[in-house]
Amino acid sequence: MTGKDLFPLSEEHQMIRQAARDFAQNEIAPIAAEFDESGEFPSKTIKKMSEMGFMGIEVPEDYGGAGMDTLAYVLALEEISKADAAHGTIMSVNNSLFCYGILKFGTEPQKQKFLREIASGSAIGAYSLTEPMSGSDAGTMRSRAGRAGDHYILNGRKSWVTSAPVADYIVVFSLTEPEKKHHGITAFIIETDKPGFARGKKEPKLGIRASATSEIVFEDYRVPVENRLGEEGEGFKIAMTVLDAGRIGIAAQALGIAEAAYEASLTYSREREAFGQKIGAFQGISFKLADMKTRIEASRLLVYNAALAKERAKNSHSRFTLEASIAKLFASETAMFAAHAAVQIHGGVGYSREFPVERYFRDAKITQIYEGTSEIQRMVISRLETGLR
């Protein structure tokens, strides 16, 4: 951030933020536009991020991770996303949607087998809840997993799976007892090199284009019972618990995008002249900058607060649903607000691919949609507050 930190950080947290910032600005920012244009998965930089411990930040060292806390995770993710939101998406899904679920609900052999590979960067993890006919209403999925001895046979089509085109392992949610609805959903860890698994249509996306997204299809895919995550019927609760963590990651990503949009706008407003003065001296521009800055700092406090709530929950088993949804809602709305203002402040060049604010604008939009739309976050927050539904 520019200026003084409003939130006091320990020396260790400042160090991880600085390391992430240096790496992101030196290695990711220079290639971001090129990978956005081509839509190619940025394997080399993701590999380097895993060498720095960024792909398994909260995974304990015993399982090959960096053994840091949630605040360290959001600080690093914010910096990576500020350089390129697509790298932020890949990092977020790997850390919170894959590793967190295995850490929280996995058996010891599952932790040993999957976390070590994912945290070290020798494999990529993904998470698959959504289906073509069930997005926000996640409980209405149709894919089926029937028990057959020491296996389950999985059939169905899942959609919008971040990192699916490159993932080695995917946490997949499927119906084992359809008549029980939410309580009939079970989670499985899928190995993508086994028969019966196929990658479907790759999504041609508006933004975060270097993060690969596709459908996945299961045709009589055999999942061994030891790859079931949690108990039968616990899948929906696992999906929601993991999304609580995921939403903090997306909030941190949104914060990074908003900061990038703000800093570009600040620089441009100090340099560009119109009607005989720097455009930042016009109230029309300076008030935009003030609103961006204010919303960014409020987002930051909400994101760090949610990270601390998640950290406390590690010892108390309390939920941090409210803090996560508030942070995700506010930070993603701020990212879109800031990116929109940044394009306007830049005028014509803001609309050009030669300046990065056009990419921030396209990237910001997804933060209001994935891992629960802004409308779903409002639903979660209001239900928790009113106790009504």
Question: According to the binding rule CB under 6 A, does residue 176 interact with ligand CAA?
Answer: no
Cα distances (angstroms) measured from residue 121 to each of 11, 214, 244: 27, 21, 24
CA-wise closest residue to 143 among 197, 191, 97: 197
Helix, coil or strand: residue 163: coil
- Report the residue number, 110 or 373, with the smaller CB distance to ligand CAA: 373
| Per-residue mark of binding to ligand CAA, 45-84 (x: CB under 6 A) | ----------------------------------------
Question: According to the binding rule CB under 6 A, does residue 214 interact with ligand CAA?
Answer: no
**Of these, 45, 50, 143, 162, which contacts ligand CAA (CB under 6 A)?**
162
Question: According to the binding rule CB under 6 A, does residue 237 interact with ligand CAA?
Answer: yes
Q: Is 34 an annotated catalytic residue?
A: no
Residue 248 near residue 76, CB atoms below 8 Å: no
Question: According to the binding rule CB under 6 A, does residue 173 interact with ligand CAA?
Answer: no
As measured in angstroms, the least distance from the Cβ of 182 to ligand CAA is: 4
- Residues 11, 177, 371, 375: which is the catalytic one? 371
Show Cβ contacts of residue 138 under 8 Å, excluding neighbours closer than 6 positions.
Answer: 129, 130, 173, 236, 239
Question: According to the binding rule CB under 6 A, does residue 376 interact with ligand CAA?
Answer: yes
SS3 sequence, 64-119?
CCCCCCHHHHHHHHHHHHHHCHHHHHHHHHHHHHHHHHHHHHCCHHHHHHHHHHHH
Question: According to the binding rule CB under 6 A, does residue 208 interact with ligand CAA?
Answer: no
Rounded Cα distance, 29 and 23, in Å: 9
Show Cβ contacts of residue 143 under 8 Å, excluding neighbours closer than 6 positions.
Answer: 131, 154, 155, 156, 157, 158, 172, 174, 175, 218
Residue ranges in 139-158 that form contacts with ligand CAA under rule CB under 6 A: 139
- Count of CB atoms situated within 10 Å of the CB of 331: 31
Residue ranges in 78-117 that form contacts with ligand CAA under rule CB under 6 A: 93
- Report the residue number, 49 or 91, with the smaller CB distance to ligand CAA: 91
φ, ψ for residue 149, nearest 5 deg: 70, -120
Residue 146 near residue 152, CB atoms below 8 Å: yes
φ, ψ for residue 80, nearest 5 deg: -65, -45
- Report the residue number, 116 or 183, with the smaller CB distance to ligand CAA: 183
Q: Going by DSSP bridges, is the β-strand pair 125-128/169-175 parallel, antiparallel, or unpaired?
A: parallel
Residue 334 near residue 295, CB atoms below 8 Å: yes
- Report the residue number, 350 or 372, with the smaller CB distance to ligand CAA: 372
Helix, coil or strand: residue 173: strand
φ, ψ for residue 8, nearest 5 deg: -70, 130
In this chain, which stretch among 52-60, 170-178, 241-249, 265-273 interacts with ligand CAA, using CB under 6 A? 241-249
Count interface residues toward ligand CAA (CB under 6 A).
25
In this chain, which stretch among 11-19, 74-82, 143-151, 366-374 interacts with ligand CAA, using CB under 6 A? 366-374
Question: According to the binding rule CB under 6 A, does residue 236 interact with ligand CAA?
Answer: yes
**Of these, 23, 98, 114, 127, which contacts ligand CAA (CB under 6 A)?**
127
Residue ranges in 304-363 that form contacts with ligand CAA under rule CB under 6 A: 319, 321
As measured in angstroms, the least distance from the Cβ of 126 to ligand CAA is: 6
Question: According to the binding rule CB under 6 A, does residue 380 interact with ligand CAA?
Answer: yes
In this chain, which stretch among 100-108, 252-260, 267-275, 367-375 interacts with ligand CAA, using CB under 6 A? 367-375
Rounded Cα distance, 198 and 221, in Å: 10
Q: End-to-end distance of the chain based on CA atoms, in angstroms?
A: 39
As measured in angstroms, the least distance from the Cβ of 236 to ligand CAA is: 5
- Report the residue number, 24 or 161, with the smaller CB distance to ligand CAA: 161
Residues assigned a catalytic role: 371
| Residues found near ligand CAA in the complex (CB under 6 A) | 93, 127, 129-130, 136, 138-139, 160-162, 182, 236-237, 240-241, 243-244, 319, 321, 370-372, 376, 379-380
